[in-house]
Structure 1
Amino acid sequence: MIIGILLEVVLPIFILIGAGVLMQRAFQLDLYTLAKINFYYITPAVVFMSMYESEMSAELFGTIVLYYSIYVTALYLIGRLCSARLKFTRGMRAAFTNALILDNSGNYGLPVNELAFKGDALAGSLQALIMTMQALLTFTYGVFSIQGAKTQGLYRQALIGFLKLPVPYALVAGLVFQIGSIPLPEFLARPLIYADQSLVAIALLTLGAQMIKYPLRLHRKEIYFSVAIRLLAAPVIGILIVLSLGLKGIPAQALILASGMPVGVNASILAEEYQNEPDFTAQTVLFSTLLSVLTLTALIPLSRILAA
C-alpha cells in the first residue's frame, strides 16, 4: 500500500514541483502571472465544478464548517500557548500562529486530493470548501494578526480584500447550479472543464517555481517547532475531531488528509507584504512542503483505515 501511494500520489506531486523548480531556474518564470492564472481562473473553475458535481448534503456542509471551526481554534490556541512559552515578540507570535492555521489547501491540497481520490466529486467538493474557508481566514485573521492596530481602516481593507476573491463567488455559484439542477451550456462547461483538468499540473508547477525563492536556513529552532505542529500535531487534531463527529467514508478521509497540508504560500505572501518575519515564514513553507512527502505518505493509508 505504501509503495502504491508513493508511486501514484506522492511521487507525481513532487515530480511536478521539481519541474517547476527547474523551469524557474532555467527561464525565470513570471510568478506574478502564474499566480494570477491559478488564482483568478483555474482555482475558481475547480471550485465551481467541484460544487456543481458534488453530492454534499446541507447536513454534511454544516458538519464540515463545524469541523473546520474547531480545527482552526485548536491550532490557534496551540500557537498562542507556544508563543507565550517561547516568549515571542508580538510580530513573531503573529507569524508563528499564521504558519499553523494558514495551510496550503489550494495549489497543494487540491492536487493531492485529486490524485488521492482519483477525481471523486465529493472529495473534491470537500477540499474546495476547506480552501474557501482558508481564503476567508487568510483575509480576516491572517491580515489582522500581522497588522494589529498599525493601520487605520484595517477591517475595511480586509473585508474589501475578501470580497475581491473569486473563489467564494465560484463556490456559491456552483452550489446554486447544483441545488437548482441548472444545466451548464456547453460554451460555459467546456472552458471550466479544461481549467479543472489543468489544475494538478499548473498548480504544482507554480508551487515549485515559488519555492525556489526561499534559501534554506537551518539555524532557527522556531521553524522546527512550527513545522512539527503543522505536519504532526495538526493531523492528530483533525483525526480526533473527525472521530468525535462520527464521520466515515470519503468525508472522513478527505478531512484527515486536508489536515496534513504544509504551510500555505499565502502565509509567506502576507509576511512579505507587511514585512513581518518574512524569512521565518518562507522557511516554514519550504520545510513543511518538503517534509510532507513523508507525512502524507503515512497519512493517506491511515485516513483510509480510520474512515472505514
Structure 2
Amino acid sequence: MTIFLSILWNNVIPLSVMIALGITLHRVFSLDIKTLSKLNFYLFSPAVIFNLLYTTDISGNVLLKVLLFFFLFMLLLYAAVETAIRLRGTPPSLRGAMRNSVLFYNSANYGIPLNQLAFAANPYTLSVQVLIMMMQALIPNTYGIYNVNSHRLQARDIVRTILGLPVIYAIPLGLLLHALHVRIPEPITTPIGYLANAFIGTALITLGVQLGSMKLTFRHPKMKDVLLSVGLRLVAAPLLALAVVWLLRTNSFTYVDGLMAKALIVSSAVPTSLSSVLLAVEYDNEPEFASQVVLFSTALSILTVTAVIYFLHI
C-alpha cells in the first residue's frame, strides 16, 4: 500500500495538478481552446517531437523492437475494439469515433511526463516513449483523418489534408538530421528548444482547459459506449501490452529487457488522446461522445495508471 500511495503522490498527482490548473484557468478566464490547440498542434508538438528525435540516441535495435511491439499491440487493440463494436451492435455513425477513442492514446502530453516521473527521467525509457509518441502522432494524423472522412471525402482531399500537417515533416526530418549528424545553427536550435520546453506544461494546461469545457454526466445517451471505450483504453490496453511484451520476451531475437518492457506497458496505460476529440469536432463525428471518453478516461486514469505502475514495481 505504501508503494501504491508513493506512486500516486510522486507520479500521478503532479500531472493531475497541472490539469486541474488548466480547468481552473478556463473556469475563471474562459480560455480559447482553439488557440491553445493550434499552438500545441502547429508549434509545440512538432517542436518537441523533432527535438527529441534529433537529440535522443536511439539504437536500431531499440527502434525495431519498439516498432514491432507497437505493430502487434495496435493490431490486438484494433481487434479488441472491433470485436466490442460488433458484439455491442454499435451504429455505423459511432464506430469511427469509438475506434479513435481506444486506438489514440495520450502518449505525448500525458505519456512523456508520466515516463519521466515513473522512470526518474531515464534517457533509455524516454527514447522508448519518444518512439511510441512518434507513432501515435502519425496515426491520428493519417488513419484517424481517413477514419472520420472516408465516408464523405475523396481520397485526394484526405491526402491533401494529411500533407498539410506539420508533424508529418517533423518526424522524418528529426530522424534524418540525427542519423546524418547534421549540426543545426544555434539561432535555430534555441527557438526549437524554447518551443519544446514549453510543450509539457502547455499541453497539460490545454488538456485541463479542454476538460474544463466539458460537462461530466452519467446521463449521456451513449454512456454505455463511453464506459466500454474507457474500459478498453485503461484496462484492456495495458493487459494486451503485457501479453505482447510476454510474447516478445519468449524469443531471443525479439527479447526486450525488463526496463523496456515496463516502459512499453506504462506507455499503453494512458488515457484517450485529445486528438480523438479534435478529429471529432473538426469533422463533426460524435464530438460529445469523444469528449466524454477523454474526460472519464483522464479522471479514472489517476487510479488505473497508478495501479499499473504499482504492479510493475512488485
Q: TM-score, normalising length from structure 2?
A: 0.89
8 A Cα contact 1:50 1:122, kept in partner? no
The letter for the 1-side match of 2:110 is Y
SS in structure 2 at match of 1:194 = helix
- Distance of 1:168 and 1:144 partners within structure 2: 15
SS in structure 2 at match of 1:119 = coil
8 A Cα contact 1:50 1:121, kept in partner? no
8 A Cα contact 1:45 1:170, kept in partner? yes
The letter for the 2-side match of 1:166 is P
Match of 1:232 in 2: 235
Unpaired segments of 5 or more residues in structure 1?
A: none
SS in structure 2 at match of 1:218 = coil
8 A Cα contact 1:252 1:303, kept in partner? no
SS in structure 2 at match of 1:190 = helix
8 A Cα contact 1:104 1:261, kept in partner? yes
Asked whether 1:141 is paired with 2:143, we answer yes
Of 238, 241, 244, 2:244 maps to 241
Asked whether 1:211 is paired with 2:218, we answer no
Of 75, 78, 88, 1:76 maps to 78
8 A Cα contact 2:26 2:213, kept in partner? no
8 A Cα contact 2:138 2:167, kept in partner? no
SS in structure 2 at match of 1:245 = helix
Superposition map of 1:1-308 within 5 A: 1-151=3-153, 153=154, 155-219=155-219, 220-246=223-249, 247-304=256-313
- Distance of 1:204 and 1:250 partners within structure 2: 26
Q: CA deviation at 1:304?
A: 4.8
Q: Deviations over 1:203-253 (max 9, x none)?
A: 101100011122112132121111111100000111111221121244222
Q: Deviations over 1:162-198 (max 9, x none)?
A: 3222224222222223222333433233223333333
Change in Cα spacing, 1:160 to 1:109, as seen in structure 2 (3 Å) is farther
- Distance of 2:200 and 2:259 partners within structure 1: 20
- Distance of 1:260 and 1:38 partners within structure 2: 22
Q: CA deviation at 1:139?
A: 2.9
- Give % identity: 36
Matched positions, count: 303
8 A Cα contact 1:216 1:283, kept in partner? yes
Q: CA deviation at 1:287?
A: 0.1
SS in structure 2 at match of 1:100 = helix
Change in Cα spacing, 1:301 to 1:199, as seen in structure 2 (3 Å) is farther
Root mean square deviation of aligned Cα: 2.0
Unpaired segments of 5 or more residues in structure 2?
A: 250-255
8 A Cα contact 1:132 1:168, kept in partner? no
Match of 2:253 in 1: none
The letter for the 1-side match of 2:75 is T
Change in Cα spacing, 1:290 to 1:34, as seen in structure 2 (3 Å) is same
Q: Select between 3-12 and 137-146 the one with higher mean Cα deviation.
A: 137-146
8 A Cα contact 2:145 2:162, kept in partner? no
SS in structure 2 at match of 1:5 = helix
- Distance of 1:163 and 1:200 partners within structure 2: 25
Change in Cα spacing, 1:214 to 1:143, as seen in structure 2 (3 Å) is same
Q: TM-score, normalising length from structure 1?
A: 0.90
Change in Cα spacing, 1:276 to 1:37, as seen in structure 2 (3 Å) is closer
